[in-house]
């Protein structure tokens, strides 16, 4: 029995040809479909991203995320902001385990798309939102708690923005890199991912009559 090949001669398909006709198109088709789904390259967008980036992506391990939220004593109904929210894990856990509202701010559209789909899958779209944009251009005045995992450069750039826009009593929790010249109220070390230790620091915003200070927790 033969297989009709358009334009073919004998109509008999050799076994090797059958392999190429039946097997190869599957991954190839997937790749082509993926290409159609892919977002077209946007050179201006890529340049904007590169100039505004405070750090690359590195995920905080789940145990460390939980300890950050515990250190900040996140309470039900509070607003937790993650400055550079990556795949959304901090704001998602803040909502799921602590009953908070979450706002993630993320520059990179790849992480925005991924985090938004995770939020949808978890059914948290009324509790958690992601803002695509530069953290330095966002209003943070509604935040009760701000989570930060960035670079030394990122903490330096963020500091004046935090001092200007956070409300009195807001808590800031950092992972690995601390905010220069701020005095932490509490610190914690968490071991995760084998032997890696994550240093966490908690600061509390205090707007006294004499400007701004970050000191004793619970005042």
Among 42, 47, 58, 168, binds ligand SAM (CB under 6 A): 58
Element (H, E) at 121: helix 109-121
Q: CA-CA-CA-CA torsion for 192, 77, 166, 215, nearest 10 degrees?
A: -60
Of residues 183, 126, 176, 134, the one with CA closest to residue 152: 176
Helix-strand-coil percent breakdown of the chain, rounded to 5? 35, 25, 40
User: Does 145 participate in binding ligand SAM (rule CB under 6 A)?
Assistant: no
Q: Which stretch binds ligand SAM (CB under 6 A): 2-10, 122-130, 131-139, 205-213?
A: 131-139
Q: Distance (Å, rounded) from C-alpha 121 to C-alpha 115?
A: 10
Using CB under 6 A, pick the residue from 106, 116, 170, 201 that binds ligand SAM: 106
Residues 161/179, Cβ–Cβ less than 8 Å = no
Q: Does 84 bind ligand SAM (CB under 6 A)?
A: yes
Tokens 């904007």 belong to which residue?
48
Residue 88: closest CA among 122, 54, 63, 55: 122
Interface with ligand SAM by CB under 6 A: which range of 4-12, 34-42, 46-54, 115-123? 46-54
Q: Report the residue from 67, 79, 85, 170 that binds ligand SAM according to the rule CB under 6 A.
A: 85
Which of 86, 171, 174, 179 is close enough to bind ligand SAM by CB under 6 A? 86
CB of 133 to ligand SAM, least distance (A): 7
Residue 112 interacts with ligand SAM (CB under 6 A): yes or no: no
CA pair distance 88, 118, nearest whole angstrom: 8
The residues, ordered by sequence, that sit 6+ positions from 125 with a Cβ below 8 Å of its Cβ are 119
- Does residue 168 bind ligand SAM (CB under 6 A)? no
Using CB under 6 A, pick the residue from 113, 127, 129, 134 that binds ligand SAM: 134
> Does residue 53 belong to the site contacting ligand SAM (CB under 6 A)?
yes
> Minimal distance in Å, beta carbon 62 to ligand SAM?
9
Contact between 204 and ligand SAM by CB under 6 A: the answer reads no
> Under the rule (CB under 6 A), what is the footprint of ligand SAM?
52-55, 57-60, 82, 84-86, 89-90, 105-108, 111, 134-136, 149-150
């Amino acid at each position: 029995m033969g297989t009709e090949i358009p334009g073919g001669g004998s109509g008999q398909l050799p076994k090797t040809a059958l392999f190429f006709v039946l097997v190869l198109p599957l991954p190839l088709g997937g790749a082509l479909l993926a290409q159609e789904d892919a977002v077209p390259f946007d050179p201006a967008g890529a340049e904007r991203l590169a100039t505004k980036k405070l750090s690359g992506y590195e995920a905080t391990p789940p145990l460390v995320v939980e300890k950050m939220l515990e250190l900040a004593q996140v309470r039900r109904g509070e607003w937790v902001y993650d400055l550079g929210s990556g795949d959304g894990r901090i704001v998602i856990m803040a909502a799921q385990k602590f009953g908070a509202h979450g706002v993630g701010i993320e520059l990179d559209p790849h992480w925005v798309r991924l985090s938004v789909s995770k939020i949808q899958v978890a059914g948290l779209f009324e509790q958690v939102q992601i803002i695509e944009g530069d953290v330095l251009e966002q209003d943070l005045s509604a935040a009760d708690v701000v989570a930060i995992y960035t670079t030394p450069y990122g903490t330096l750039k963020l500091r004046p923005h935090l001092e200007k826009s956070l409300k009195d009593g807001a808590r800031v929790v950092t992972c690995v890199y601390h905010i220069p010249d701020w005095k932490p109220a509490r610190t914690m070390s968490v071991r995760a991912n084998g032997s890696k230790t994550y240093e966490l620091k908690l600061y509390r915003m205090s707007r006294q009559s004499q400007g701004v200070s970050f000191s004793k927790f619970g005042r």
